[in-house]
A and B are shown apart, each in its own frame.
Chain A
Amino acid sequence: DTGVSQDPRHKITKRGQNVTFRCDPISEHNRLYWYRQTLGQGPEFLTYFQNEAQLEKSRLLSDRFSAERPKGSFSTLEIQRTEQGDSAMYLCASSNPGQGVVAGGEYEQYFGPGTRLTVT
C-alpha cells in the first residue's frame, strides 16, 4: 500500500488569503481524519469523514474552515481569510475499520507527512 499523501507540504500565505490542502488516504480506507498540530503540542482533532459523509467537527473548526471528501476518496481542507493563529501543521490520517482485529474496536490511524502552513 502507498501511504497517506498530502499536498502541498509547505504553504506560506499572507493573512486574509484563502488556502486549500489536499489529502489522499490509503486506498480503500473509508475513514479520513484531519488534525492540527501547533509547535510543541500534540495533534488535535478537527474533523473526520466516513466515506463521503462528514460525521463530526471539532469546535476548533471555525466557520472559516471547511472540509470535503466528495467521492469518498481524497479530501480537501480549506481555510478562508487566514489568520496568524492558523499557522500550524495540518495532518491527515486514514483508517479502515474493516481491517480491525476487534469488531467495533479500534483501528490504528495512518498519518500523512502533513502540510505546514505559515501565515505572515
Chain B
Amino acid sequence: AQKVTQAQTEISVVEKEDVTLDCVYETRDTTYYLFWYKQPPSGELVFLIRRNSFDEQNEISGRYSWNFQKSTSSFNFTITASQVVDSAVYFCALSEAGAAGNKLTFGGGTRVLVKP
C-alpha cells in the first residue's frame, strides 16, 4: 500500500528566507505521480506541482523548486524568498498508476509560518 510521510509538522521562518519541505513516499508501483498541494487558511487545496516517476529532472517554477530522488523515495519542495502569503499547510501526495481512479494518498502536512 502507498504511504506518504512528511516528518516536519511545522516550520517557522522570517520573510525572504528559503523553506524546504521534506516528503518521503512508499509505493510498490513502478509508475506513480507525486504532487504538492497548498492549503491556505481559507481551506481550499491548491495544486502546485506534479512529477511523474519516470522523470527525475528537477525544475524550478518561479519561487518554487523541487528535488525528486527515486533512490531515496523523496520528493522535497522548496520555496525561495518566502513571503507572508506563503503561510499555509503544504501537503505532499502520491498517486499510483495501478490504483483505480488514481486516488491521492496524502501526507500529514507541514504548516509553514512566514513572519514579516
Contact = CB atoms under 8 A, between A and B. Distances in A.
A105 B52 contact: yes
A107 interface: yes
A108 B91 CA distance: 14
Contacts of A110: 47
B101 A48 contact: yes
Given A42-B108, A48-B101, A106 B50 contact: yes
Interface stretch (B11-19, B37-45, B61-69, B75-83): B37-45
Contact of B101 (A41, A56, A91): A56
A95 B97 CA distance: 15
Residue from A104, A106, A109, A113 having most chain B Cβ neighbours under 10 A: A106
Contacts of B4: 42
Contact of B109 (A42, A45, A106, A113): A42
Which bucket holds chain A's interface residue count? 20 to 34
B43 A56 contact: no
A114 B104 CA distance: 16
A106 B102 contact: yes
A28 interface: no
Given A41-B108, A105-B33, A108-B35, A56 B45 contact: no
B111 to A, nearest CB: 9
A106 B52 contact: yes
A104 B97 contact: yes
Complex A-B, nearest 7 residue pairs according to Cβ-Cβ distance, in ascending order: A42-B106, A106-B33, A111-B45, A48-B101, A45-B103, A108-B47, A113-B44
Interface of B: 4, 31, 33, 35, 37, 42-47, 50, 52, 91, 93, 95, 97, 100-109
30 contacts: A33-B101, A35-B104, A40-B109, A43-B45, A43-B91, A43-B104, A44-B106, A45-B103, A45-B104, A45-B105, A50-B101, A56-B101, A89-B43, A93-B45, A102-B52, A105-B52, A105-B97, A106-B33, A106-B50, A106-B52, A106-B97, A107-B102, A108-B47, A109-B47, A109-B104, A111-B37, A111-B45, A111-B47, A114-B44, A116-B43
Interface of A: 31, 33, 35, 40-45, 48, 50, 55-56, 89, 91, 93, 95, 102, 104-114, 116
